[in-house]
Structure 1
Amino acid sequence: MTQGASRLLAATSLRQLQIFAALARTGSYTRTAEALMITQPTVSMQVRKLEAAVGMPLVERVGRRLYLTEAGEALRRAAATVLEALEALDMEVSELRGLATGHLRVAVVTTAKYFVPHLLGDFCRRYPDIEVALKVTNRARILERMQANEDDLYIMARPPVSEEFRFRRCAGSEGVLIAPPDHPLAGARDIPLSRLATEPFVVREPGSGTRMLFDEIFSGAGLSPPLRMEIGSNEAIKQAVAGGLGLALLCRDALDPLVEGGPVELDVQGFPLPWQWHLGHPAGKRPSPAARAFLDFLHHAQD
């Protein structure tokens, strides 16, 4: 090892490398702080310390965007090598011990938050030595996290069709149409889908799995119901529907049938629709012992 490398190694901490690797992935001080659950000033301070150790700027801002300098790109590659080696070492040590220990990072789309915590609760009771981190966000952000390899496993209803990822079915549910409890169609039987063509709808944001299903169902039937409001939250959609703002399509997992005055399910022809949850990870990613334990747990739970 050269004298310069020894000096740099002595002045650099593993945490700083983790922070810089996350910054390189996200391109944002704010999102790095959110991902690592630290403050933005902490991220900035650690990057400045790294720049002092390297002796060159590592990032530069052009307009509102953050870019790595040539030295920053070199450090990103080195940090990735170090962190991957340490992760591989942790996996090998866990395997040698023969114990299901370690950390499990699971990221799920917002609608999956209604059933995944129950699965994780059962899993944690079986494997109390595994620390679990659950990230809940929208589909667009999940795709970004997958590209950046930020988590061990991902759960979503509509995984991308790509050789870069491996997904398998892990649970099932149903898509249902809901209405205010005092809606004229509440309690009606065998409603034709065409009857809803003039009804206003409250919908999820474009790109979400729920919105993709909504668009497929109605455009496939040659219908274009009016969209009164786009909302990025299932909870807000339920409140909007209960308040009389329109109808909505949601996963049954998101419904609370026992809430008085809440939305009611409509009996529409062709509904409920099959809704399949999928679990996956990047194709080249070697699952950690904790991730393999969770995969085995789900496999046996489905038997």
Structure 2
Amino acid sequence: MRNATIRQLQIFSVAASHLSFARAAESLHLTHAAISLQIKQLEEVCGTLLFERIGKRVFLTEAGEILLEHARQILQSLKEADEALLALKGLKGGRIAIAVASTAEYFAPGLLAQFRKTHADVRIRLLIDNRDTVFRLLASNEVDLAIMGRPPPALDATAVAFAPHPLVIVAAADHPLTRRPSVAVEDLASEMLIVRETGSGTRSAMEEFFQERSIKPRIGMEMGSNEAIKQAVVAGLGISFLSQHTLGLELSAGRLSVLKVEGTPVMRRWHIVRHKSKHLTPALAAFWDFVLEFAPAYLRKRV
């Protein structure tokens, strides 16, 4: 492995993440032939195949999986060395890769905008996906930290709760249940629910809510987007269980109403999470401290 180049490891890591040479070429702005050549040369250095093709799909070999783990560690160490040297020289800047659960996309950009006011030289990459994907990105060290609801117990992580996260049941503004001063959970059993996809933190919280009350909800639609769910509820296709932090525009416009259901809002917490082995660069430490100090007051204004 002494003859392997950093560029080869970078290309291999991207190709392994996508399990596609074509997508790696697109991501790195290289040709498919250039990707194939670099992987072939790396395989010659390793003395073994790193990928295997079965049908139309590409998989990592056992050797490829082993190398991927070490390649990511090497690339991360180089990134951290770069940041440390910049800090030693007293230079500003740095890079942060952040993953946020899709429900947090309603406030994360605002947080980043506030952070950039005092750290304009920090380069930020923001990824938005469901809870399962955010967990995978953290575990594979593809991001530096995450903002999410309940942190994954299987991950060896440092997680700090920084703000309450209320989840509520919403209906169209003209739904009959909106006129009731209180709604029993049993009254929801006949309502059609529009829900997030499996793997979403909101979906998990909803399932726990009904399971604890021995109610089996009628799931009529499953959607991977909070925006799509809200529009479906506004259209009268059903009710939904959503984060209150996603509802600002629709509530203020009078298009949605929060039902006064017994046991709601369901209170969870927002967490900022990083892998325990993650080295805190100056930029990352600054953002971590910023979220813990600034985000609680910022989110209180959004409910």
Give the TM-score, by structure 2 length. 0.85
What residue is the counterpart of 1:216 in the other structure? 208
Q: Is the 8 A contact 1:19 1:43 kept in 2?
A: no
- Aligned position for 2:219: 227
Alignment partner of 1:206 out of 198, 201, 221? 198
| Farther off after superposition, 99-108 or 207-216 | 99-108
User: Which of 273, 276, 293 lines up with 1:283 in the alignment?
Assistant: 276
Corresponding residue number in structure 1 for 2:35:
46
Deviation at 1:54, TM superposition (A): 5.2
C-alpha change, 1:85 and 1:229, in structure 2 (3 Å) is: closer
Runs of at least 5 residues in structure 2 that lack an aligned partner in the other structure: 298-303
Which residue does the alignment assign to 1:123? 115
Partners of 1:202 and 1:247 within 8 A in 2: yes
Matched, 1:142 2:134: yes
Q: Distance in 1 between matches of 2:33 and 2:175?
A: 53
CA–CA separation in structure 2 for the residues paired with 1:70 and 1:201: 44
Counterpart residue type for residue 35 of structure 2: Q
Equivalent positions of 1:176-195 (< 5 A) are: 176-195=168-187
Task: Provide, for residues 258-284 of structure 1, a one-character-per-residue CA deviation record: whole Å limited to 9, x for no partner.
Answer: 564622211112222213111111111
Helix, strand or coil for the counterpart of 1:172?
Answer: strand
Q: Which residue of 1 aligns with 2:81?
A: 89
Change in 2 beyond 3 A, CA 1:110/1:73? closer
The 1:210/1:49 distance shift into structure 2, 3 A limit, reads same
1:205 CA displacement: 0.8
How many equivalent pairs are there?
Answer: 292
How much has 1:180 moved relative to structure 2? 1.4
Helix, strand or coil: the match of 1:271? coil
In 2, Cα distance between equivalents of 1:145 and 1:33: 20
Which one-letter code corresponds to 2:162 in the other structure? C
SS of corresponding position for 1:90: helix
Distance 1:141 1:92 in 2: 29
Q: Is the 8 A contact 1:181 1:242 kept in 2?
A: yes
Structure 1: distance between partners of 2:196 and 2:102? 11
Q: 1:73 to 1:48 in 2, by over 3 A?
A: farther
Question: Taking structure 1 as reference, are residues 199 and 92 closer, same or farther at Cα in structure 2, changes over 3 Å only?
Answer: same
Calculate the TM-score normalised by the size of structure 1: 0.85
Q: Please list, as runs of the form range in 1=range in 2, the aligned pairs for 1:1-303 lying within 5 A after superposition.
A: 8=3, 12=5, 14-29=6-21, 32=24, 37-38=27-28, 42=31, 45-52=34-41, 55=44, 57-69=49-61, 72=64, 76=68, 79-80=71-72, 82-162=74-154, 164-255=156-247, 256-258=249-251, 260=253, 262-301=255-294, 302=296
Q: CA RMSD in A?
A: 2.7
| Pairwise CA distance, 1:146 | 1.7
